[in-house]
Structure 1
Amino acid sequence: MELSALAEIGIIGGTGLDDPDILEGRTEKYVDTPYGKPSDALILGKIKNVDCVLLARHGRHHTIMPSNVNYRANIWALKEENCSHVLVTTACGSLREEIQPGDLVIIDQFIDRTTKRHCTLYDGQHSTLSGVCHIPMAEPFCTKTREVLIETAKKLGLQCHSKGTMITIEGPRFSSRAESCMFRSWGADVINMTTVPEVILAKEAGMSYASIAMATDYDCWKEHEEAVSVDKVLKTLKGNANKATSILLTAIPQIGSMEWTSILHTLKTTVQCSVILPKQ
């Protein structure tokens, strides 16, 4: 699994944000991995001559709930397709007044409240990767890739917040009001059900990972505001999905034209230095 200095982009599409029409010359590829099957077929194609691989996180028919997404297989499959970068989209709830429904957030930190998920590729059960990996997570998201996304959003005139802390809950239920208020007090800015463990696994795979989060609601902390519901989330996504798409279509050609040798080398070295191998 050698890293390339030229970017090849894996795209993981969240709820309502996984339109394959963004790719030219599409082909489908069903794969298997040491961790099982990914959420769906890989859709291979190009965005302005940059090789891309699109994967619907919840399956193309949205049949996989957040806890049951095979995050390890998804990341492994993209890595095996030689993707150096993973750009993802995700719906989220806002925990801040200033992050309004329809706004985008290029998140830079996370808080993990999940309980049922495999959070490492190095689990001692797959001979492909041996040892125990204690991956550093002070900076979970790729700073350079985030900067491209932020600048792209500005150029497109989109309402975009340049940082934010995502709290990932297990789901599939939404938060209670007490939980929503507690998460605010913890310093979380937005809330979803999928950032963890995806970002962790991408880091273990030595890939540049960045997320475009779209606020769809105010969760349930905000008084005199309608609490989050599936109908509200989908309605907001339907009206604003083109924002995330426009960022991807504009940012990916730029990412593809940039030099990534140093960053990819650093990511790879970080992984190597984080693994404690079994004693012989």
Structure 2
Amino acid sequence: MPTASLLILIAVLLPPSALDILGEVVDERTYLTPYGEAGPLALRKLSDDLAVWVQPYTGLPTRTDPRATIFAARQLGVQRILNWDMGIAVNPVLQRGQPVIVDDYIGWTSHQADTFFSDAHTGLDINLGSVRSPFCPEMGEAIEQLLPGLPKATAVGVDFLRRETRAEARMFRRWGADVLSYNLVPEVA
């Protein structure tokens, strides 16, 4: 059975055939974790050497606990998670539909757990460095090589199903935010 060290969380609506570029589905799993059920996660194999785990993902309040997704990913041997998501621009310089590379975030969610450390039984080896880059610099560099010229952006993680007020949008912009995201925080935390 092939293995994969990358999990792609797909938080945009795509027809199933759009994922065929990642290869055929060769395995599908659902995991029961200390944080609830995670999955289904589909293993797509492009070649003998290239495979990736894929999970549909939404910012709905009923979504899988982000800790369950990360816990299951670790059980699968995943070393990196790529979030493919859409956001709402609060930076007027950004055009509608313009892709960005998010390189920092502001956590503004209130309805999701935002740490593994409230439960000591996780068994996860998590780096507790001081101020750190919240995103993998190697993945950012790889994306920049594949898609040169994408602007970097700071995202605000917000709760789903409530649009920000005009005052909140102005506040987020003053804080240095470029986009709002429903599926980034608390996952990255």
Structure 1 length normalisation: TM-score?
Answer: 0.59
User: What whole-Å deviation, never above 9, does each CA across 1:212-248 have from its counterpart, x for those lacking one?
Assistant: xxxxxxxxxxxxxxxxxxxxxxxxxxxxxxxxxxxxx
> What is residue 160 of structure 1 aligned with on the other side?
150
After TM superposition, the structure 1 = structure 2 runs for residues 1-280 of structure 1, keeping only pairs within 5 Å, are 8-16=5-13, 19=16, 20-26=19-25, 27-38=27-38, 40-48=39-47, 49-58=49-58, 65-66=60-61, 68-124=63-119, 127-129=121-123, 136-154=130-148, 160-161=150-151, 163-200=152-189
Query: Within 2, Cα distance between the matches of 1:67 and 1:134?
Result: 29
2:116–2:122 Cα contact (<8 Å) kept: no
| Gaps in structure 2 of 5+ consecutive residues | none
Cα offset, 1:118, TM superposition: 1.1
Query: Within 1, Cα distance between the matches of 2:41 and 2:171?
Result: 38
Structure with greater proportional strand content: 2
Structure with greater proportional helix content: 1
For residues 7 and 55 of structure 1, do their structure 2 counterparts lie closer, same or farther at Cα, with a shift above 3 Å needed?
A: closer
User: What whole-Å deviation, never above 9, does each CA across 1:100-151 have from its counterpart, x for those lacking one?
Assistant: 1121111100001111211122223x53439x98554531001111011011
Structure showing greater Rg? 1
User: What is the SS of the residue equivalent to 2:187?
Assistant: helix
1:122–1:133 Cα contact (<8 Å) kept: no
User: What is the SS of the residue equivalent to 1:91?
Assistant: coil
Cα offset, 1:68, TM superposition: 4.1
> What is residue 61 of structure 1 aligned with on the other side?
none
Query: Within 2, Cα distance between the matches of 1:12 and 1:47?
Result: 17
For residues 144 and 119 of structure 1, do their structure 2 counterparts lie closer, same or farther at Cα, with a shift above 3 Å needed?
A: same
User: What is the SS of the residue equivalent to 1:77?
Assistant: helix
Amino acid of the residue matched to residue 199 of structure 1? V
Query: Within 2, Cα distance between the matches of 1:8 and 1:135?
Result: 23
User: What is the SS of the residue equivalent to 2:67?
Assistant: helix
For residues 86 and 137 of structure 1, do their structure 2 counterparts lie closer, same or farther at Cα, with a shift above 3 Å needed?
A: farther
Cα offset, 1:45, TM superposition: 1.8
Amino acid of the residue matched to residue 170 of structure 1? D
Query: Within 2, Cα distance between the matches of 1:69 and 1:110?
Result: 21
Runs of 4+ in 1 over 4 A off after TM superposition: 132-135
Amino acid of the residue matched to residue 141 of structure 1? F
% identical aligned pairs: 28
Query: Within 1, Cα distance between the matches of 2:100 and 2:67?
Result: 24
User: What is the SS of the residue equivalent to 2:138?
Assistant: helix
> What is residue 236 of structure 1 aligned with on the other side?
none
User: What whole-Å deviation, never above 9, does each CA across 1:65-87 have from its counterpart, x for those lacking one?
Assistant: 14643101111111111011111
Query: Within 2, Cα distance between the matches of 1:67 and 1:135?
Result: 31
For residues 127 and 96 of structure 1, do their structure 2 counterparts lie closer, same or farther at Cα, with a shift above 3 Å needed?
A: closer
Query: Within 2, Cα distance between the matches of 1:105 and 1:129?
Result: 34
Query: Within 1, Cα distance between the matches of 2:136 and 2:82?
Result: 10
